[in-house]
Amino acid sequence: MHRFFSSTARIMTTKRISYQVGGEVQGVNFRSFTQKQAKSIGITGFVSNASDGTVTGEAQGSEDKLKEFVQHLNKGPSAASVHQVEQKDIDTKSGESSFDVK
Instruction: Tell me the C-alpha distance between 34 and 19, whole Å.
Output: 12
Look up 31 and say whether it is catalytic: yes
**H or E element in which residue 56 lies:** strand 55-62
Task: Give the active site residue among 3, 10, 49, 74.
Answer: 49
Query: In terms of Cα–Cα distance, which of 17, 30, 25, 19 is closest to 101?
Result: 30
Instruction: Tell me the C-alpha distance between 64 and 94, whole Å.
Output: 19
Look up 49 and say whether it is catalytic: yes
Task: Give the active site residue among 10, 29, 31, 74.
Answer: 31
Active site residues per annotation:
31, 49
